[in-house]
Amino acid sequence: MSSLSFKLGLVLVFFQLGLSAQEPEVEKPAIIPQPAEIEWKDNFFTLQERTVVCFSSGAGASAAWLQRLLSNTYTQSYEMRGENCNGFNLNINPELEETLGKEGYNLEITASTVSLEAATEAGLFYAIQTLRQMFPAEIENEKISEEIKLPQVSITDTPRFEWRGSMLDIARSFFGTDYIKKHLDRMAFYKLNRLHLHLTDDQGWRIEIKQKPKLTELGSKGAVKGGRSGYLTQEEYKEIQEYAAARNIVIVPEIDMPGHIYSALMAYPELNCEDFSNIEPRMATPPELFHEYKVGWSKLCLDKPEIYDFVATVLGEMAEITTGDYLHIGGDEIEDERYKEFVVKADSIVQGLGKTTVGWEEVTQAAVDSSFISQRWNGKTKSVVKTPVIESICSSFYYDHANVPGQEMTNNWCKEDGVSLKDAYTFKVENPNTIGVEAPVWTEMVLSNEAADDRFWPRTIAMAEVGWTKEKKKDYKNFLERLGDQGLRLDLMDVNYFRSPEVDWNSDPKKGIFSEFMPKSKF
């Protein structure tokens, strides 16, 4: 027998034995945030034309989310209560909280099963978001008819911090329910769990307070030049909270006080001192609206005891309509000899309403309760009390600043060359009292949905990995590679993200093309 014939015979035997009929290697998905532990296997799971979604007691909502994902594929999926089916298995086991916490999960993909388990629905939801990133990007807004293969993998994942937040200022320029819901969808995909809404400022009052109707009848009419006015009704606010809760996100409402409050001073002039001495410099006086950018010039008349009736009324109504545990009282950029007195009283009011108080770092100049959550934005405050800390340091997390040096219509007061993707990703948490991170977008110069997207994304994705992934697991170069592989998915999710030049994006659409022509994301 010739050498060639012998070799061909061996190949035939191997094929018959199934030894060399190996499938091509499946490309490893780019998962963000980086999981705590991940072990890729050499084979894959093939999605069948019919499959079963098995779920245990308490996992019904997660099964619905998974069905929503599978509905954009060729498979016909069926829900069934039970465990260990061939197909998809969703299991809630409260005993796992000891090892996974309330938001961690295990995800195991074998040749015949995709198994997701967690201690809570939140953990299963995050497991589904990781699984979603393993599907082709097209699943975001179109039905996939081609065969889908998922790489076999074993993932154990838990978040680094409990508070992983994004902040949207809707006071300077208004953003309504449609945009807020889109933002919540995108936050959930990257495992963020707090949306801080800055609801009031000098330019506008954006939340309905039924006992103080002039706050929206008059105070909502203002906005920065070129910005949008308006407000959320209480029903809209409740709707947003319900939408967020389904995605394991808590809404944190901020009523900024005792400063940044001209919109209320205009609506209720009795909150002012005589001769408007509390408004200095006088950028506007009631009944004028304020349309400029300057902040830190207005405050409640802290010499008047009756202002606390106003504060108690507003915070009381906010507590009634807020399902989350937090009320944010602002408290930044003000000088007044009664400031500390005010902060302590406002904190006491919030505690009396059964909520946890959050405020900007200046509040810790006062002897607030140790449960008070301080949000650091410049790191310069000399605190007199130790409190839990949210890191929002402006040089890493103020995303109203430029993506790159010289970007138009952006702030630069904190960092002249802007806040880069690297600035966001390489932030190191050093305060032992830190409970998480949060990145704000202030809207003095953010006048449209597209502009807001440009400021939030992709820097918010970098911040999400800071909040979720342990420091030792982070790698900026690797992050850039994974982020580049998310480009097409972001396009198909209708995100008008800034195409950071240091990223090798896996798509190159014309700016805005997906907003105008593509079907909207279904998630």
Token digits for 252? 């944190």
Closest CA to 133 of 97, 109, 162: 109
Q: ∠ CA 117-121-124 to the nearest 5 degrees? A: 40
**pLDDT tens digits along 31-46:** 999 999 999 999 999 9
Task: Specify whether domain 23-157 bears CATH 3.30.379.10.
Answer: yes
pLDDT given at position 85: 85
What count of Cα atoms within 13 Å lies in the side-chain half-sphere of residue 347? 22
Three state DSSP letters for 46-92: ECCCEEEEEECCCCHHHHHHHHHHHCCCCCEEEEEECCCCCEEEEEE
Q: ∠ CA 182-188-193 to the nearest 5 degrees? A: 115
Closest CA to 329 of 411, 273, 268, 260: 260
Domains 23-157 and 163-517 in one fold: no
Q: Is 333 a catalytic residue?
A: yes
pLDDT given at position 508: 79
Domain regions of the chain by residue span: 23-157, 163-517
Length, in residues, of the chain: 523
- The order of strands in the sheet holding 37-46 is 37-46, 149-157, 105-109, 113-118, 87-92, 50-55, 76-81
**pLDDT tens digits along 108-124:** 999 999 999 999 999 99
pLDDT tens per residue across all 523 residues of the chain:
444 443 334 333 333 434 334 455 667 899 999 999 999 999 999 999 999 999 999 999 999 999 999 999 999 999 999 887 889 999 999 999 999 999 999 999 999 999 999 999 999 999 999 999 999 999 999 999 999 999 999 999 999 999 999 999 999 999 999 999 999 999 999 999 999 999 999 999 999 999 999 999 999 999 999 999 999 999 999 999 999 999 999 999 999 999 999 999 999 999 999 999 999 999 999 999 999 998 889 999 999 999 999 999 999 999 999 999 999 999 999 999 999 999 999 999 999 999 999 999 999 999 999 999 999 999 999 999 999 999 999 999 999 999 999 999 999 999 999 999 999 999 999 999 999 999 999 999 999 999 999 999 999 999 999 999 999 999 999 999 999 999 999 999 999 999 999 999 999 765 443 333 344 566 6
Class of the CATH-defined domain 163-517: alpha beta
Amino acid present at 41: K
Give SS3 for 207.
strand
pLDDT given at position 28: 86
Given 79, 333, 361, 416, the catalytic residue: 333
